[in-house]
Amino acid sequence: MERLSRELKNELDAIPVPKDMLDATVRKALEQGRQQHWKRIGRMQKFKMSIASILVLGIITILLQAALLDSNQVQGQNYHESIIFRHGDPGLKIVAQEGKIEKHSMQQHSDGVSITLSEAYLDKGKLAVGYTVKTNRSIEGDVMVQLSAGGKNLWGGGTVWSIKPGEGKQGVFDFPKLDGVEWGDFDLHIELVEDHSTKGEWKFSFDVPEQSEYKSEKVDAKSDTGEERWYWVKNMELTPSLLKLKTTLKLSESERSVLNDSMIQGTVIYMKDGSGMVKMHRDFRSGSNQDLYEALKKGTPYTQLEVDLAPPRDVESITVVPFLQNIKNESVSVPLQEGATLASKGAVLKLMGVAEEQGRMTIRIQKSNKLENFALHSLRVKDGNGDFHDPLSYVIKDSYLEIHYPRLGDMKELELAYQEVDLYLDDLAVEIEL
CA distance 62 to 68: 10
Q: Please report the pLDDT score of residue 59 as a whole number.
A: 52
Amino acid at 278: V
| pLDDT computed for residue 208 by the predictor | 94
- Tell me if 319 sits within 8 A of 264, measured CB to CB: no
Helix (H) or strand (E) holding 145: strand 139-149
| DSSP β-bridge partners for residue 285 | 308
Measured distance CA(192)–CA(162) in Å, rounded:
11
DSSP string computed for 11-52: HHHHS---TTTS-HHHHHHHHHHHH-------HHHHHHHHHH
pTM score, two decimals?
0.74
Quick one: pLDDT at residue 37?
38
Name the percent of the chain in helix, strand, coil, to the closest 5. 20, 45, 35
Contact 277, 393 (CB under 8 A): yes
* CB proximity list for 137: less than 8 A, separation 6 or greater: 112, 113, 165
Please report the pLDDT score of residue 318 as a whole number.
93
Please give the DSSP secondary-structure letter assigned to residue 310.
Answer: P
| 337-339-341 Cα angle (round to 5) | 95
Long-range contacts of 357-360 (CB under 8 A, 24+ apart): 359/407, 360/392, 360/404, 360/405, 360/406, 360/407
How many Cβ atoms sit within 10 Å of the Cβ of residue 412? 9
For the stretch 293-324, what's the b/e string if a residue is b when 16 or more beta carbons lie within 10 angstroms of its beta carbon?
bebbeeeeeebebebbbbbbeeeeebbbbbbb
Give the other-Cβ count within 10 Å of 269's Cβ: 25
Q: What is the distance between the alpha carbons of residues 342 and 86, in angstroms, rounded to a whole number?
A: 30
In this prediction, residue 322 carries a pLDDT of 93
**pLDDT for the residue 74:** 55
pLDDT for position 409: 80
**d(Cα 268, Cα 254) in Å, to the nearest integer?**
23
pLDDT at 47: 45
Provide the residue-wise pLDDT of the chain in tens; the chain has 434 residues. 444 344 434 443 444 444 444 344 444 443 444 334 333 334 445 444 555 555 555 554 444 444 443 445 555 557 888 999 999 999 999 999 999 999 988 999 998 999 999 999 999 999 999 999 999 899 999 999 999 998 888 888 889 999 998 888 999 999 988 777 788 889 999 999 999 899 999 999 999 999 999 999 999 899 977 778 899 999 999 999 999 999 999 888 888 888 888 888 899 999 987 777 899 999 988 776 777 777 766 777 778 888 999 999 888 889 999 999 998 999 999 999 999 998 887 788 899 999 988 888 999 998 776 677 788 999 999 998 888 999 999 998 888 999 999 888 888 899 999 999 999 999 999 999 88
Give the per-residue pLDDT at 76.
54
